[in-house]
Structure 1
Amino acid sequence: MRIHRAPLRYASAGGTPRSSQPRWRRRVLACTAVLTLAGALSFPARAATPPSGEISDASPAASWSAGPFAVPNTTGAAGSPVCDAPQACDDYTLDVKVPSGYDADHNVRIDITWPNSAADFDLYVLDAKTGDEISAAASSSDPETVILPAVSRTYTVRVVPYAPLGESFTGKASLVSIPADPPPSTATPPTYGNSSAPDSIDDAHNAGEPSIGVDRKTGAAMFQAYTSTLKVTYDAAGNGTWQDKSAKTANGCPQGSSTSLDPILFTDPRTNRTFESQLAGKTALTCFTDDDGESWTPTAGSGINSGVDHQTIGGGPFSPNGPGALTSYPNAVYYCSQDIADASCAASRDGGLTYGPAVPMYSLLDCGGLHGHVKVAPDGTAYVPNKGCGGNQAVAVSGDNGQSWDLRRNPGSTPGDSDPSVGIGAGGTVYMGYQNSDGTARIAVSHDRGRTWVDDQRIGGSLGIRNTVFPVVTAGDDNRAAFAFLGTTTGGNYQDTENFHGQWHLYVATTYDGGVSWVTVDATPDDPVQKGSICTGGTTCGDDRNLLDFNDITLDDHGRVLVAYADGCTGSCASGGAQNYDALATISRQSTGATLYGAYDAADGRAVKEGARK
């Protein structure tokens, strides 16, 4: 189950998800408190002042305000907001007048802000002539931000008082320069081979939101798709063999592979223990295996008072600044999840058998977006990234084994649609990959545990990539990392099921110089992952939510990159036919090129080829 508000950049199409899993996201408010406050307030709503404005290359900024607002308009939680009540929405007409080609190095940025961060306003941008929704920012962030190409056009900027608490808002539209991308890396691009699950495997075609880990002792990749745990082994030529190793009563896990609101898998690269977890409300049905799925051990599942949604499991060394191991298992295990008003993490000190109480990482007053997967650094620092904290994306950081958490924002980012991801190098360097509010893929680097960020840059600009979803990041040596995402060279609203016709591919960017420069490759050049729109808006979506909400990435013992994804365009679609909305379990595995471990660089151009395993 994915609970969240309306999508951050778009209007989602009506309908229900193609997957049979009951997945949906919508932020749930304490409605009684909001309505009680609304009834106690009697401020009259006011129209935008002024009601219209213009920005141009000669006059690049315009502002307006409106309010105060007393009555909530929560209709946007189910899709596009309804504005048929008096002053339920506020509209401002924005004219953009710029020379042809101005969008090559400029964007239109629209922000709305309000004084009390406990309140919540949502931002929608419509075509003024047709009323079609072009973009939206409908999280709990303050400010809400939309970024658009700088082209001449007239917009209706609609602000919806989702939970106004008697507040007014201020809007600003401005033309902003697009920062120049640094030169791409001159490193030899790696290449990738793709392997998919055979039809004989349960959930082979129900693999939305896959997760992946690698047992570095045996080389087996462990892949989770809904209630199925799959083991993939590779021969010397890089061909994958898929086997079903799902957790069941027969192999020691009676709670596994039966029901799920969300699946997640994690393999600890140090201990090679794999955890398979199925969400079950405020708890989880979790087992682990130490022999690649031949046998499974049941666990308590999660911490007391864990959240109802968006669970993630991760682990790594204990920090010396907090309580350590209770058993011989050397690493901490974290179960993090999202609840109605906050998100929390519970830590296990006995190898994942039991967990302490869930400790809040942040509340809705701090972050309205959903969090990504928990990652643990070699020094024991734990990180959980979030896509919408105020006007930025951020990481929640714990340096004491989950006893307390600190929220650290990336000031160069704006809230996005997809969960961000972090990868952590051997020396503690943090790489955060994210989808910016303009849809582009960006990555930033921190050398001080997320307190400051450097080398924040767009990825894939040289390939013409204009829209992205599902960023995932991993790292090996401290100066080496990989950043994978689904991308398309087609611009515009990729949520528009009727009018968006782009083709999506899996891209992987790699840095060998600590994030200063990146080399980006198309890992699926001859086989689109999806054609047309991709919706991540929960049950308000139509068939185009077949891929659900995220992908995953990991490394093997030689530092080869493996990306788990659901292939949404198979069969005749892959050979030129129409989109078929599949979700085929697939792994893209690095086959040549320098890996993320320099110890395996070859002398003849640093190429690691198949057959190099010990």
Structure 2
Amino acid sequence: MRAARCPSLLLLAPAAALVLLGGDAKAASPAAGAISSTSGPISWTYGPVVSGTLVDTGVEDVCPPGPCDNFDLTLSLPQPAATFYQANTATLTIHYTWTSSVPTDLDVFAFSPTGAKYGPGSPDDTSTGSGVEDLSITDPPNGVWHVRSVAALAPIPTGAQASATLTVGPRTAPPSPNLPGTAPAYAIYPAPEDIVPAVGSTTSGAHGAGEPSIGVNWKTGAAFIEAGNHTLRVLFDDSRSPASATWTDKRSPFSRVSLDPILFTDSQTGRTFASQLDGACSETSFTDDDGETWLPSQGCGTPAGPDHQTIGGGPYAAPAPALRTSYPHSVYYCSQGIVAAICARSDDGGVTFGPGVPIYNLTECGGLHGHIRVAPDGTAYVPNHGCTAPDGVRRDGLAVSTDNGLSWTVKTVPLSKSNRNGGDPSVSAGSGGALYYGFVNFDGHAKIAVSHDRGTTWSKPADVGTPYGIQNAEFSEVIAGDDDRAAFAFLGTTTPGDDQSSDFQGVWHLYIATTYSGGKKWVTVDATPADPVQRGCIWNGGGSNQCRNLLDFNDITVDRIGRVLVGYADGCTGACVTDPNQNTFDALATIARQASGKGLFSAFDGSLPK
């Protein structure tokens, strides 16, 4: 879970510079204007803004004198927005420029008549000399917009120029892909309402399943989905068609208070870990009998970070440590600190952990990392959506360790570009080491790249949402099986625009792309065609935004025969499924389980219906 953003902000602006601005920073010239589909572009000039370092967001919301200037833009459509956008689409584009002799970062934000916030524009960076940001808003509602110039870093007073253009065109239907008859199909298993709560609980937590983790014990076939402090066990009966599912709350007695939940099942050994972040470490326990009994773990190595922990494991890299128990696999605990991310390794099956080792620092990667994955050859991978490439551009990347976590190297995906909305990328290695990296690119599209040298070089990322016209995606999750087989799950919508905005109108579905050719070709299916996963925005910025019901991620795994399972929180249940006006913002624990088609292990081809 991402930490809530502090509402306060820190302005370290020179007092003299503030005096130069006078008492009123709202000095745009003109102060207001209007635009319509027939008016053509409109331009204006912002008064100078100034600040030292804006540590946190929020100044654009109130626009105080000094660091902010405001322009009111009245937008008119030929019809009310709800009527007009049924057959048409429109894009409001704001082009924003400035010039400064010192390193400066100005940002443009736009607030809709409903109060929804858009921005900052792109690219959001610091420059000396000429600076520019562009902000595009799809299907903007009519009314008065507040378009603001904000100083994120402006040591000297800096003015800006802006122009707005409104383009209008007919709305076209998204494409309908022609899927091959062999495409995988999925059955959806929502948690039932009658799950008996575990001892000491009043609820099973099934409706609080934001950012779920999923795992499968290959020895027994038991699946686990965890969110909050509840671990739900799901037993599938494949003697029936479709398979039935029995849900049981197997909450660990050690899972009581949680700032962040995470689950990891070591599929080959059958050991499942339930981790609950409690600050600088985690309350972690494990079970070897599918949740019937639990034992406590040390929880983490030291030092450890206070946020966004992940647990994973797998075979050791050669040479394996000499001092280890009979447990055959390494177990890693990684977490996000303030200036670095840290991983510690356990050599006794996750009972205790060694010292924490930094895997990157702020000069290498920023934001939060994704989930650790260990390849069959023991290479450990931790993905991050904002790493600095050799060319200085922030790109998707990953920390890589080939020596059992003793040292780490940061590598980037060259043709990616970080999405400012964040969102964890996901990585998984096939049986021969082929590495699949799924992410949401800066344009909102779901893309996946393949590496055959542990992330040093990459294939051109494939846009797996193209067959459906996906314009925005969230929650990338990847799992590999055989070296040439992998699955990539994500939430997607055909609606363009800022999916972080409270007036975003997208309808989201769960999509799963599969390759059987090492990434040369992908087949993407809509796993929830008649049941949206979410209506409206999916907020990735932390805090308590209404659209944050799904929290930070989903999860994906594979069972013994290569069947793909996706654990996700369903945010649109009940009346919301058929009525757009009945948005529930739920978070119901749900599993999408492959029901037909080839799985990820060719040895079991034919085990599922074709």
Q: TM-score, normalised by structure 2?
A: 0.77
Q: Pick closer, same or farther for the CA change 1:494–1:387 going to 2, 3 Å.
A: same
Distance in 1 separating the partners of 2:368 and 2:95: 22
Out of 25, 34, 52, the residue aligned to residue 71 of structure 1 is: 52
Structure 1 residue aligned with 2:476: 471
1:353-368 to structure 2, matched below 5 A, reads: 353-368=351-366
Q: Does 1:228 align with 2:230?
A: yes
Out of 110, 126, 137, the residue aligned to residue 110 of structure 2 is: 126
Out of 53, 61, 65, the residue aligned to residue 85 of structure 1 is: 65
Structure 2 residue aligned with 1:608: 608
Q: Does 1:546 align with 2:546?
A: no
1:97-144 CA distance string (max 9 Å, x none): xxxxxxx9x9999999999xxx99574453899996434369997799
Match for 1:456: what amino acid? Answer: P
Distance in 2 separating the partners of 1:270 and 1:427: 17
Out of 173, 195, 200, the residue aligned to residue 194 of structure 2 is: 200
Structure 1 residue aligned with 2:529: 525
Q: Does 1:412 align with 2:393?
A: no
Match for 2:453: what amino acid? Answer: D
Gaps (5+ residues) in structure 2?
31-44, 74-88, 164-174, 196-203, 389-393
1:194 to partner: Cα distance: 0.8
Distance in 1 separating the partners of 2:8 and 2:319: 35
Q: Pick closer, same or farther for the CA change 1:167–1:439 going to 2, 3 Å.
A: farther
Higher-Rg structure is 2
* SS of the residue 2:575 aligns to: helix
Q: Which one is further off, 79-88 or 438-447?
A: 79-88
Structure 1 residue aligned with 2:520: 516
Q: Pick closer, same or farther for the CA change 1:486–1:67 going to 2, 3 Å.
A: same
1:270 to partner: Cα distance: 2.3
Q: Pick closer, same or farther for the CA change 1:358–1:88 going to 2, 3 Å.
A: farther
Q: Which one is further off, 528-537 or 67-76?
A: 67-76
Structure 2 residue aligned with 1:293: 291
Q: Would you say the 8 A contact 2:555–2:568 is kept in 1? A: yes
Match for 1:190: what amino acid? Answer: P
Distance in 2 separating the partners of 1:312 and 1:142: 32
1:496-507 to structure 2, matched below 5 A, reads: 496-497=501-502, 499-507=503-511
Structure 2 residue aligned with 1:370: 368
Q: Which one is further off, 574-583 or 268-277?
A: 574-583
1:38-95 CA distance string (max 9 Å, x none): 6699899999xxx99xxxxxxxxxxx9x99966123451x58554323245799x9xx
1:576 to partner: Cα distance: 3.1
Q: Pick closer, same or farther for the CA change 1:158–1:315 going to 2, 3 Å.
A: farther
Structure 2 residue aligned with 1:427: 432
Out of 582, 587, 591, the residue aligned to residue 583 of structure 1 is: 587
Distance in 2 separating the partners of 1:592 and 1:138: 42
Distance in 1 separating the partners of 2:249 and 2:608: 29
Q: Would you say the 8 A contact 2:331–2:346 is kept in 1? A: yes
Percent pairwise identity: 47
1:547-566 to structure 2, matched below 5 A, reads: 547-566=550-569
Distance in 2 separating the partners of 1:303 and 1:556: 29
Structure 2 residue aligned with 1:314: 312
Match for 1:203: what amino acid? Answer: G
Q: Pick closer, same or farther for the CA change 1:184–1:441 going to 2, 3 Å.
A: farther
Structure 1 residue aligned with 2:82: none
1:452 to partner: Cα distance: 1.5
Structure 1 residue aligned with 2:495: 490
Match for 2:504: what amino acid? Answer: F
Distance in 2 separating the partners of 1:393 and 1:108: 26
* SS of the residue 1:538 aligns to: coil
Match for 2:598: what amino acid? Answer: A
Q: Would you say the 8 A contact 1:199–1:205 is kept in 2? A: no
Q: Pick closer, same or farther for the CA change 1:140–1:311 going to 2, 3 Å.
A: farther
1:341 to partner: Cα distance: 1.6
Distance in 2 separating the partners of 1:150 and 1:494: 10
Q: Would you say the 8 A contact 1:467–1:488 is kept in 2? A: yes
Q: Which one is further off, 139-148 or 530-539?
A: 139-148
Gaps (5+ residues) in structure 1?
4-23, 53-63, 94-103, 174-180, 249-255
Q: Does 1:332 align with 2:330?
A: yes
Distance in 2 separating the partners of 1:235 and 1:26: 48
Distance in 2 separating the partners of 1:344 and 1:395: 13
Q: Does 1:461 align with 2:466?
A: yes
Q: Does 1:596 align with 2:596?
A: no
Q: Pick closer, same or farther for the CA change 1:348–1:245 going to 2, 3 Å.
A: same
Structure 1 residue aligned with 2:377: 379
Distance in 2 separating the partners of 1:496 and 1:490: 12
Distance in 1 separating the partners of 2:160 and 2:181: 46
Q: Would you say the 8 A contact 2:330–2:347 is kept in 1? A: yes
1:336 to partner: Cα distance: 0.8
1:540 to partner: Cα distance: 4.8
Distance in 1 separating the partners of 2:338 and 2:411: 21
Structure 2 residue aligned with 1:388: 386
* SS of the residue 1:454 aligns to: coil
Match for 1:222: what amino acid? Answer: F
Paired residues, number: 543
Out of 574, 578, 583, the residue aligned to residue 577 of structure 2 is: 574
1:370-411 CA distance string (max 9 Å, x none): 111000111111111111124211111111111111111112
